[in-house]
Amino acid sequence: MLWKKFGKEEQNKKGVTNMAHDNINHPLHYGGSENPFEAIKIIDYYNLDFSLGNVIKYVLRAGQKNGNTMEQDLKKAKWYLDHYLEKTGKE
């Protein structure tokens, strides 16, 4: 994936000692701050609500966060999409 490139570059520039800070502000499983496709940037750009924002978040990071498999993250994305469709009556 393209975003992995950005995360690795950020990790090399900042070094391992700064990773705790990165995990709060721009975690590598979301691509890091240098990634123009970081989930929060896309969510903010399109002014998505909570449910649709989580769909984007889980799809973009699918299988990248420690302890989460791709299948788990995609099922979470599906749950948030179903929730959005249900609450808006767009099923």
pLDDT in tens, 11-58: 444 444 344 446 677 767 666 667 788 888 999 999 999 999 999 999
Mean pLDDT of 65-82: 95
Query: How many helical (H) and strand (E) elements, i.e. helices and strands, does the chain have?
Result: 5, 0
In the chain the first and final C-alpha atoms are separated, in Å, by 31
Same domain, 91 and 71: yes
Q: Is the model's pLDDT at 70 over the cut of 60?
A: yes
Domain total for the chain? 2
For residues 21 and 38, what is the distance between their CA atoms, to the nearest angstrom?
16
Same domain, 43 and 74: yes
Instruction: Residue 57: give the domain boundaries.
Output: 38-91
Same domain, 47 and 91: yes
Q: Which residue has the higher pLDDT, 82 or 11?
A: 82
Same domain, 26 and 56: no
CA-to-CA dists, residue 4 to 7, 26, 27, 45, angstroms: 5, 13, 11, 21
Same domain, 1 and 43: no
Q: Is the model's pLDDT at 82 over the cut of 80?
A: yes
User: pTM of this prediction?
Assistant: 0.68
Same domain, 81 and 43: yes
Other Cβ atoms closer than 10 A to 35: 22
